[in-house]
C-alpha cells in the first residue's frame, strides 16, 4: 500500500519518527513510502522509503527475520 508519510504523535504529544526498515533512514514527512505488514509473521509493519522502493533494497523483519525484496 502506498502512503504519504505523516509524522504521528504519541499520547504525550511527542512526534515519533518513521524509520525505513531497509536502510534505517528517517523518513521525512510527505515522502511516499510503502507500508505493509510482514508477509511472514504479520506482526511488524514494514516501511520502505521511496529510495529503497526504487532500488528494490531488501528488508528484514526485525521480529521474525524474514527478508524479502
Ligand atoms: Zn530506505
Ligand atoms: Zn516478521
Q: Which ligand is nearest to the CA of 27?
A: 1
In angstroms, the CA 60 to CA 8 distance is: 23
Interval between CA 64 and ligand 1 midpoint (Å): 19
CA of 31 to the centre of ligand 2 (A): 24
Write down the pLDDT at residue 30: 82
Q: Give pLDDT tens digits for 5-59.
A: 666 666 777 766 789 999 999 988 788 888 899 999 999 999 999 999 999 999 9
By C-alpha distance, which of 49, 18, 17 is closest to 32? 49
CA distances from 48 to 12, 15, 40, 57 (A): 26, 19, 16, 9
Of the listed ligands, the closest to the CA of 31 is 1
- Looking at residue 7, its pLDDT comes to 63
68 — pLDDT class (breaks 50, 70, 90): confident
Would you kindly state where each structural domain of the chain is located, as residue ranges?
A: 1-60
* Ligand 1 centroid distance, CA of 22 (Å): 5
Amino acid at each position: 500500500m502506498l502512503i504519504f508519510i505523516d509524522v504521528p504523535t504519541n499520547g504525550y504529544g511527542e512526534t515519533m519518527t518513521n524509520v525505513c526498515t531497509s536502510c534505517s533512514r528517517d523518513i521525512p514527512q510527505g515522502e511516499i513510502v510503502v507500508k505493509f505488514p510482514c508477509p511472514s509473521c504479520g506482526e511488524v509493519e514494514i516501511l520502505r522509503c521511496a529510495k529503497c522502493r526504487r532500488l528494490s533494497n531488501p528488508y528484514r523483519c526485525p521480529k521474525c527475520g524474514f527478508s524479502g525484496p
